[in-house]
Amino acid sequence: MSQGKSSIRANLADRARGVGSLRDFLELLEEYGQAITWTDRIMPEPDLRNIAVAASRDVNHAPAILFDNIAGYPGKRTVVGVHGSWDNIALLLGQPKGTTIRDMFFDIAGRWGDASAQISRVSEGQAPVHECRHEENINLYDLLPVYRINEFDGGFYLAKASVASRDPLDPENFGKQNVGIYRLQIQGPDRFSLMTIPSHDMGRQILAAEREGLPLKIAVMLGNHPGVALFAATPIGYDESEYAYASAMMGAPIRLTNSGNGIDILADSEIVIEAELQLGERVFEGPFGEFPGSYSGVRRAPVFKVTAVSHRKNPIFENIYIGRGWTEHDTLIGLHTSAPIYAQLRQTFPEVTAVNALYQHGLTAIIAVKNRMAGFAKSVALRALGTPHGLMYLKNLIMVDGDIDPFDLNQVMWALSTRTRAEDIIVLPNMAMVPIDPAAVTPGKGHHLIIDATSYLPPDPVGEAHLVTPPTGQTIDDLGKRIQAMQRGETL
């Protein structure tokens, strides 16, 4: 790499470490041509939906889009697509636009478990999120420029809110303070429902609070630090802090302050809604267009009552388009579904070389592994199904050899075509499964499918095949770089 390119990369990495809020990141995106402002007057519906969908068609390069002229919401601002393309994710990581998904995966995996997390505390009086506060006559319909994300949604949803909560049984434990993205449906001026499942951290806390009759207060953060948003969508351990992980990944401190109801929140968020669980109360929630590309139907969901709202001056309401892939949901969550599974598997099986769980939150995943013995890949697959995320989400699992790049579907299809026998396909029926899987006959129950597309090792019969081993190594890498440079009219 030339000295000039190294300098550019170093500068970009420094700029990324300096991102401390949504506003900082929007400035960085704009600097690199990845954020635009839509100044034409638009209707909340269908314009916000249509524009977000149009942008999501370019999953590699789509910009974040800020709207500041929304009919019916004078003075209100909304942004979509903040994590809506691989270029945006690359810039957040301090990588140049055009960085490959594979390179971003290994970048994230290399930062995983870093102990250098830094948390700084800001007094409530100094926190931008508390610049304006509402404690009486709260009306979410007036405070937020809400709209239906998909045409047949059952109401107005907050689909990119990071919800912070404390474990009701261990409220002082910082690690057990959960930050997660859940879908919230506004049910009235000061009420909303929250959809979760028992395996989610929030689901565990709701069950514990109602079982023990304990209060459960939460803080709903909107317009957040983009690194925290990534980890709010990441399946990490129950007692692991999303704030700490985000700080370690960004290589910079995360600024926290107290919410009015005693939760650690981001000091630089745009909006925070403080609320309390209404024990035992349920309302009908949905339908909602979910990430598998189908409406999830109507279900009974827990209810929260809003007790206060704080926000910055001239706040930016952030939402997401979610529906049939690929959308911002997939770029937001794809690599941060892959990385924790990879880290968890390698604790037991260091032979795992990469994990690609980009597809609809891991409903289909591809794991590359260096086969140690006959049947070894199947054992790794079963371990993957026992990870916190694999339990409910890894529906279709494809195992490939370590010489296959799981992020290159041409290589994966080659492995499926040449290394799979019918007996290599295992179906585990009647297993726990995420309830919004549209293929499930009974919501919450389904199958796990394992396809072993790895090479055979003794004592399995290996047949007469002798594999071709194309040349690899530094010479081939250098030749490839030279060819690309020649295409650009450059010389090396």
Q: Does 290 participate in catalysis according to the annotation?
A: yes
**Cβ within 8 Å of residue 425, ≥6 positions away:** 449, 450, 451, 452
Pick the catalytic residue: 270, 274, 290, 318?
Answer: 290
Report residue 24: phi and psi, to 5°: -60, -45
DSSP assignment letter at 397: E
d(CA 429, CA 63): 41
Tokens of 351: 């032979």
**Cβ within 8 Å of residue 11, ≥6 positions away:** none
| Strand ordering across the sheet containing 445-453 | 352-359, 364-369, 396-401, 445-453, 425-432
Q: Is 87 exposed, middle or buried (0-12, 13-18, 19+ CB in 10 A)?
A: buried
Report residue 335: phi and psi, to 5°: -70, -30
d(CA 64, CA 42): 17
| Other Cβ atoms closer than 10 A to 440 | 16
> What's the first-to-final CA gap in the chain, in angstroms?
10
Identify any residues that bridge with 442 across adjacent strands, giving them in sequence order. Answer: 445
Are residues 52 and 85 in contact, defined by beta-carbon separation less than 8 angstroms? no
d(CA 270, CA 262): 18
d(CA 280, CA 392): 25
Residues annotated catalytic, as ranges = 290
